[in-house]
Structure 1
Amino acid sequence: MASNSLHERSSSTNSNPLAITSPLSPIGPAPRSSALSNRITNVLASSYADLEIRDALETLDARGIKNTQETRRQLRLDVQRELIERNGEIVRDFGQVAEQLKRVGTAIASLNKCCSDMRVHISAADRETGHILQDATSLMSQKKDVEKKQQVLDAFRAHFLTSDTDLTILTSTAEPVNDDFFRVLSRVKKIHKDCQVLLGTESQTLGLEILEQSSKQLNAAFQKLYRWIQREFKTLDLENPQISSSIRRALRVLAERPTLFQNCLDFFAEAREHILSDSFYAALTGSLTNAAHRGSVGKAIELSAHDPLRYVGDMLAWAHSATVSEREALEVLFISTNDEVAAGIRAGIESEPWTRASSDADASDIFDGHKALAQLISRNLAGVARQLRQRVEQVIQSHDDPTLAYKLSNLLGFYRLMFSRLLEDDTSAFPTALQALEAAALRHFRTSMRDHVSSVQGDLAVAPSDLDVPRFVTEALDTLAALMKSYDTSLASSSSTVEREAGFRPVLAEALDPFLHGCENLTQRLAEPANHIFALNCALAVKESLSAFPSFTRQRMQTLDDAIAQHAACLVEYQHVWFLHASGLQPLVSALASLSSSSTDLPPVFAPEKLMATSRHLDAFLPSAMEDARENVKQLKSAVLALEVTEAAAQRLCEDFEAVEDVVLKADGERGVADEHADGGEGARRLREVFPRTSAEIRVLLS
């Protein structure tokens, strides 16, 4: 809009040159023209890019002012009028503000006056109430101190004093032993322990009084717990897998009083001993001795008394089953994961110093749960062990069969090891009783065997005519087979070979050696070869019997093999001598034995006529030589050994014949050389002609 006005203004000026010479100018034409040209020059020289000019133009444009002559004349006036109006409005507004400030000043003055009055009143009140505030502050401080002391007293009473209700729960026998009892007991024990703190302060009298009071309460509580456990033990059913947890907890708490705990164990062991003894008697007889112990009773064990081994085995099996059940039940009662019983006993020994003097063990070994459990089970089974020992001793003494005694010994040994492992103690009552019974069975076995050996002394006088194994040896081997079978099925089979052989050696000494000595005595009374044949028959029979169990008879079989080899060698020697005599070669072999290596003259037995006779005798012997030789050892029960002995003797005969043949050939050779020098070779091989058999032929005929 402003630019348009200026453009119109310049256009009008250019188009109307007379406007320059306006009559408004007081000066002549020249000055007006100069002023107008100056203004035009100023306008044209002005920069319309200036911000102020641009803002002015924008303002004019905004007001909608048109570029007319009237507008140009009134523009300044309008602006000044508008400015004056605005200034007037501002003055009026500030007048109102001034009035408000006057009212505010009046209010402030009024407030200052009020504050001055209040200061005066406050100063007066302060002077009047100062001592009262000091007294109130002192009273508040005293109140805080009293409150702190009250809190300490309340805390002390809550911690160190027990209410009448809790004392009734703790000491009254009419109250049950439940969680409340153990809760109160634990609290009183804590009070008793914390009294040591009071003894270390200035309040020692108070600490001593509370300590004495808590000690009386604890003693009364443990006495109540002790009597309650005894009552529970009278009705406790260990066969019930769900044993009361309160009993387990009570026992672990009572362990803090070792004397009471031990008395409870003694009472429990005595009660369980009677119960188990009655149960064992009921199992033996099939009847109950105490109506209070009701239960199912199976077939009476005594019904199998006619079979001693089964009878003893059933009793031991019942005892083992009872021991396992007893251990499982008592483990639940006395063995805990954190070894609480041992911890309680150690704490109790600290509270009962006199019990420490009677213990030789260290503090760490005062209580071994598993060992104490084994001892308790052993005490519980003491009555059963006595009854079992009496009855087993009766069985052992009433039977003279050594095999039965030895089987009983192995059975007792088996259960002794089982009980030792179960109770983890070899010195407890039951393993000790079984060990004594095992030793008694072994003594009875040895006595029976010696009596049996004495009873067969008459059979040891003469050997059988057929040189067969005597009857007493056969019976002994039957007995030995039963003993070896029993030993093989015992727990000794799990031992090493050396231990097994050492364990069975005493049995061989009683059940075999006396009969072998009897056979040796009979052997010494026999002539050759009957003595060797009889000894071999007995040794082979014994070896055959022992070979069924080589794991613990290997050494004895080696001894028998040495004896068999010795007797077989003697028998081979006898057969060899027989071969020499029966074949007629004995004189020749004997002559060669006495012939020195440097001698060139043959013995007289090598004369042609004697060699011819020997050759004829040898030819008559050879066809039936082996059959005749076997006839000599026909009573040997081992055909294989008889054949081996005969073949070994025949082999030696062949070797002897080879030696004779070498001498004959050598003699013929020397004689042939001499005859060649004498008469042209006549008479050569003269001895060979009268002794034509060769060693190869002899081997074939004796094969």
Structure 2
Amino acid sequence: MTSDSVLARKPSGQSDGFEHHLSPTAAQALRSNPLSAKATSVLSASYADSDIRDALGLLDKRGIQNTAETRRQLRLAVQKEVIDSNGDIIREFGHVAEQLKRIGLTIASLSQGCEEMKKHISAAHQETAPVLQEASDLMKQKDQVEAKQQLLKAFNAHFIMSEEDIATLTSTAEPVDDTFFAVLARAKKIHNDCEILLGTENQQLGLEIMEQISKSLNRAFQKLYRWIQREFKSLNLENPQISSSIRRALRVLAERPSLFQNCLDFFAEAREHILSDAFYTALTGTSVGGEEDASVKPIELVAHDPLRYVGDMLAWIHSATVSEREALEVLFISEGDEIAKGIQAGRDSEPWNVDGGNDFDGLKALNELVDRDVTGVARVLRQRIGQVIQSHEETIMAYKIANLLNFYRITFSKLLGEDSVLLESLTTLEESALNQFTTLMRDHVAGLQGESQLAPPDLAPPDFLQEGFKQLTAIMKTYETSLTSADSREADFEPILTEAFDPFMEGCENIAKHLEAPARTIFSINCLLAAKNILAPFDFTSTRLSKIQDTVDKHTSTLVEYQYSFFRANSGLQPLLQALAPLSDTKEDLLSIRSLDAFRPEVLIQASQTLDDFLPLALMDAMENLKNLQSSKMARKITEEAADRFCGDFERVEEKLVASDDIWEQEADEETLASSQPLKSLFPRTSGEITVLLS
């Protein structure tokens, strides 16, 4: 019977728990009937339960048919199968029990053997324990000894120098090469590391090693010092490929400032002799030993004048100084500030050094070294140029030499700094040349003042002024090429103007004092205009030009006043103006004009005639007064200004006369009017006519 057939027998529409719908009485009756109870149990079972479904599935696998016999035998068959299965299990467990018994016997045998082995091991351990402890102590001692051996080996390798290294460092037979510098660097490191030992309990060891290393280092620096001196003797600075080993040696020797300074002193002395000999050869064409050098053109023979001679010497020194500086830059500062660092390190290690507080300036040290190298040349130069200055008495030549010295002084100040022997020599020579120029100029001026000077007939600038201006022009052209800064050019040139310009202008003023007007003023203006023309092209004379222009303006005002007086006096207008001057524009003053002597009819007619005679040639006559003024434009301007003032005066006279006539005509009777004439009819010229005639 399959699970599907069983499920098919379930009444449709009836739930599994149908007895819940019965009354209590009916339910009690069902429970008292076994068949009914069975049916109720079957019907109340839920076939959706997993256990029932598994049981039904197991029945399906057996292939049992749903018959009455099968249903009766099913329980028995199942119980039989369960009994058979239990019997099989019991037999299997019997086999397992037998195996377990054998295993138990085996384990007991092993346990007995282990106990015996433990007894043997314990006895052996008691016998070997002292030996093992001793072996362990020996191994620890061995490890300690090996560690000490390694430490000693490392200490010796680091702090102890071999005999070969010491020989390389101190023996003069060994070269100064890369090996020497490597050993020296190692020795310095050992010396520095010894300071660590001084801070530990091994102070005595550190002191001993430091003492040995210090001796070796001192001998090494002495060896390096002597080697550098030997190299300096054969060093060719003109060779662009200067040995790098020398540069390296100098950087290392800088750690001993005293030795380094001695080297510099030795080098400077050697270079001073070399440059002095070279300068002597350049001057004479022969060496100090008397050997002639055919490749050199002697400056003393090639230079044809003092200025060329001085210029060639200065140019040679400048070239030599620049070459010296470039070569020494390669030696001393081309590698950065390594020398400065070395010197500072040396000063730190020599606290007793008095210069230890000053920082090393590589550029300043270079300038000082170059200056020391050319000190000998500077002495020769000072002597030669001093002789040239004292032996020549040409004013312009003395100033040109001074200006040339000024040019090179400024150039060398930029090259070597302000504190150099060469610069001091050039400053002294420049002052000497300027003093010579001043002396010669004053002698020249004194000679001119001793001569009787008269103004030329045409009132032109005198010859001595023209000559002085020629000298001044040459001086200013020379000064224009100087390297004086723009801010101080004018102030620096003022002393030259005081010596080479002012005395000549003062001489012209003395001449002008003896002339009559307007010749005095015209002569002064001509001299001042000539001075302006000379100074104007140069930008460092602006202040002096301004002063000259102010003086010219004052003299111009004087000439305008003179021309104005000329117009008033020669035109006949002067008496009229003087008579009208105290009068005002009141009616009484205007009526009183007719009673003045200057305005009597016959006098006024004569004044009108004088004016008519003057006007046709007035401008020509006025310009004739200024014919010697060398600026025709200025003469014309002065005359025009004076004429304008004269026209203004005439206009005021005319206005007074017209105003007086108007009042007179209003107040006079007919008889008076018939017997007298208006003033304007007696003086008929108008201001418009005057302006036209004088324009």
The letter of the residue matching 1:635 is: N
Counterpart contact for 1:4–1:67, Cα < 8 Å: no
- 1:574 aligns to 2:562 (yes or no): yes
Larger displacement relative to structure 2 (347-356 or 623-632): 347-356
CA contact (8 A) 1:459 1:472 kept: no
The corresponding residue for 2:507 is 518
- Given candidates 613, 636, 639, the residue that maps to 1:643 is 636
Letter in 2 for 1:468: A
CA 1:543–1:87 in structure 2 vs 1: closer, same or farther (change >3 Å)?
same
Q: CA deviation at 1:539?
A: 0.6
- Contact map agreement 1:316 1:415 (CA 8 A) in 2: yes
Letter in 1 for 2:614: F
For residues 102 and 165 of structure 1, the distance between their equivalents in structure 2, rounded to whole angstroms, comes to 86
1:191 maps to what in 2? 190
**How far does residue 78 in structure 1 lie from its aligned partner after superposition?**
5.8
- Counterpart CA distance in 2 for 1:340 and 1:245 is 14
User: In the TM superposition, what are the counterparts of 1:505-654 in structure 2 within 5 Å?
Assistant: 505-549=494-538, 551-588=539-576, 604=597, 606-654=599-647
**Which residue is 1:228 aligned to?**
227
1:589 & 1:72 partners in 2: Cα distance? 180
Counterparts of 1:37 and 1:690, CA distance in 2: 186
Percent of matched pairs sharing the same residue: 58
The runs of 5 or more residues in structure 1 that have no matched partner are 11-33
- Cα shift at 1:367: 1.7
Distance in 1, Cα, partners of 2:217 & 2:557? 91
Matched with 1:305 is: 303
RMSD: 4.0
Deviations 1:262-311 (A, max 9, x none): 0111122223334444555566667888999x9x9787766752255555
Aligned mates of 2:74, 2:666 — CA distance in 1 = 191
Partner of 1:27: none
Task: Please identify, of 68-77 and 372-381, the stretch whose mean Cα deviation from structure 2 is larger.
Answer: 68-77
- Quote the residue 1:420 is aligned against: 413
Matched, 1:468 2:460: yes
Look up the SS of the partner of 1:341 in the other structure. helix
Aligned counterparts of 1:690 and 1:46: Cα–Cα separation in 2: 174
Work out the CA distance in 2 between the residues paired with 1:180 and 1:399.
63
Q: Pick one of 395, 408, 421 that aligns with 2:401.
A: 408
1:552 is paired with a residue whose SS is helix
**1:512 Cα offset (Å):** 0.7
Q: Which residue of 2 aligns with 1:211?
A: 210
1:8 and 1:67 in contact (8 A); partners too = no
What is the alpha-carbon distance in structure 2 between the residues aligned to residue 178 and residue 541 of structure 1?
76
Q: Deviations over 1:450-506 (max 9, x none)?
A: 2332444466522222211122212222222232233233222x422xx33211111
Tell me if structure 1 keeps the 8 A contact 2:389–2:433: yes
Instruction: Note the C-alpha offset of 1:628.
Output: 1.7
Q: Distance in 2 between matches of 1:44 and 1:668?
A: 171
TM-superposed deviation, 1:566: 2.6
Equivalent residue, structure 2, for 1:480: 472
CA distance in structure 1 between the partners assigned to 2:338 and 2:307 by the alignment: 44
Q: Partner of 1:160 in structure 2?
A: 159
Structure 2 counterpart SS, 1:622: helix
Q: How far, CA to CA, are the matches of 2:333 and 2:239 in structure 1?
A: 17
Structure 1 residues 111 and 328, CA gap change in structure 2 (3 angstroms): farther
Call closer, same or farther: CA 1:590–1:3 in 2, change over 3 Å: closer
Instruction: Tell me what 2:350 maps to.
Output: 352
- Structure 2: distance between partners of 1:160 and 1:434: 57
1:434 counterpart = 2:434: no
Partner Cα distance (2:56, 2:173) in 1: 115
Per-residue deviation at 1:98? 3.6
Q: Give the distance between the partners of 2:199 and 2:185, measured in 1 at CA.
A: 23
Q: 1:23 is matched with which residue?
A: none
- The CA deviation string for residues 118-156 of structure 1, in whole angstroms up to 9 with x for no partner, is 222233223323333343344344334434433443343
Mapping for residues 493-504 of structure 1, pairs under 5 Å: 494-496=485-487, 499-504=488-493
Contact 1:282 1:289 (C-alpha < 8 Å) held by counterparts: yes
Residues 51 and 326 of structure 1: CA distance in aligned 2, closer, same or farther (over 3 Å):
same
Q: Which residue of 2 aligns with 1:389?
A: 382
Return the offset for 1:507.
1.0
Distance (whole Å) between structure 2 residues aligned to residue 465 and residue 297 of structure 1: 62
Report Cα offsets for 1:103-130 as digits up to 9, x if no partner.
4333323332332222222332233233
Q: TM-score, normalised by structure 1?
A: 0.82
Relative to structure 2, which stretch is displaced further, 431-440 or 192-201? Answer: 192-201
Q: Could you tell me how far 1:215 is from its partner in structure 2?
A: 0.9
Letter in structure 2 aligned against 1:490: S
In the TM superposition, what whole-angstrom CA distance separates every residue of 1:5-59 from its partner, at most 9, and x where no partner exists? 979999xxxxxxxxxxxxxxxxxxxxxxx99999888766765444444333333
Q: CA deviation at 1:342?
A: 2.9
The answer (yes or no) to whether the contact 2:303–2:312 under 8 Å persists in 1 is no
Query: Aligned to 1:553, what secondary structure does the other structure show?
Result: helix
In the alignment, the residues of structure 2 paired with residue 40 and residue 676 of structure 1 have an alpha-carbon distance, to the nearest angstrom, of 185
Superposed CA offset, 1:649-681 (max 9, x none): 33444455456556666776787688638x442
- Deviation for aligned residue 1:638: 0.5
Q: How many residues align?
A: 667
Cα separation, partners in 2 of 1:702 and 1:123, compared to 1, 3 Å: same
Shift of 1:213: 0.7
Aligned to 1:682, what secondary structure does the other structure show?
helix
Number of the residue aligned with 2:25: none
Output the amino acid matched with 2:549: D
Note if 1:331 corresponds to 2:322. Answer: no
Secondary structure in 1 aligned to 2:161? coil
Q: Which amino acid aligns with 1:645?
A: I
Distance 1:7 1:673 in 2: 169
Deviation at 1:328, TM superposition (A): 3.9
* In 1, Cα distance between equivalents of 2:77 and 2:667: 196
Asked if structure 2 preserves the Cα contact closer than 8 Å seen for 1:282 and 1:297, the reply is: no
Q: Is the 8 A contact 1:476 1:515 kept in 2?
A: yes
- On the 8 A contact 2:3/2:57 being kept in 1, the answer is no
The answer for unaligned runs of 5 or more in structure 2 is: 11-32
Tell me, what secondary structure is at the counterpart of 2:454? coil
Partner of residue 443 from structure 2, selected from 435, 439, 451: 451
Contact 1:672 1:684 in 2 (8 A): no
Residue 19 of structure 1 corresponds to which residue in structure 2? none
What TM-score does the superposition give when structure 2 sets the normalisation length? 0.83
CA distance in 2, matches of 1:328, 1:595: 90
